[in-house]
Amino acid sequence: MDINELSENFELLDNWEDKYRYLIDLGEKLPPFDEKYRTEDWKVSGCQSQVWLVPAFSGNGADARINFSGDSDAAIVRGLIAVVLTIFNGKSRQEILSLDVASLFGRLGLEEHLSPSRRNGLGAMVDKIRFYATQG
């Protein structure tokens, strides 16, 4: 799935209760997360729930691509992780750093329907992914 398909799926849902259920469903479809990464080293600070993000780099230099795995102890947050991974997985460092994430979240209608703490957590996830894109 890509961001366009994700956006279309959100548009098909009539209300935010349905969209929250869809988010939870997306989170349930995340691949299993390796327990060895549930440590402070991979934890995203700034999230009310526990969130872990782990990068995997393929290729070198400008051609390097990054894929992420992630997990949370909260169902809706797992869904937000799934959205974030849909946006960023397989992108180059430069693509990650240049993406207009606010615009993408706006297309999905996430910003205005999340609690302030979830919005902050979403921002913390994006910041962590951008941090990883500057490393290595």
Q: Quick one: pLDDT at residue 113? A: 78
Q: Is the predicted pLDDT of residue 136 greater than 70, yes or no?
A: no
In sequence order, which residues have a C-beta less than 8 Å from that of residue 87 and are 6 or more positions away?
Answer: 3, 99, 101, 104
Is residue 22 a contact partner of residue 10, using CB atoms and an 8 Å limit?
yes
The per-residue pLDDT for range 72-115, each reduced to its tens digit, is 999 999 999 999 999 999 999 999 999 999 888 888 887 777 88
Active site residues: 47
- Domain with 97 in it: 3-133
Phi-psi region of 8 (alpha: psi -120 to 50; beta: other; left: phi over 0): alpha
Name the DSSP letter for residue 92. Answer: E
pLDDT in tens, 1-18: 888 999 999 989 888 899
What percent of the chain shows pLDDT beyond 90?
68
Full-model pTM: 0.93
CATH of the domain at 87: 3.90.1010.10
- Residue in 90, 49, 48 with CA at minimum distance from that of residue 69: 90
Residue 35 has pLDDT above 70, yes or no: yes
Q: Which of these, 18, 17, 19, 54, lies nearest to 35 by C-alpha position?
A: 54
Quote the pLDDT of residue 59.
86
Query: Number of folded domains in the chain?
Result: 1
Contacts of 80 (CB under 8 A, 6+ apart): 23, 27, 72, 110, 114, 118, 121, 122, 125
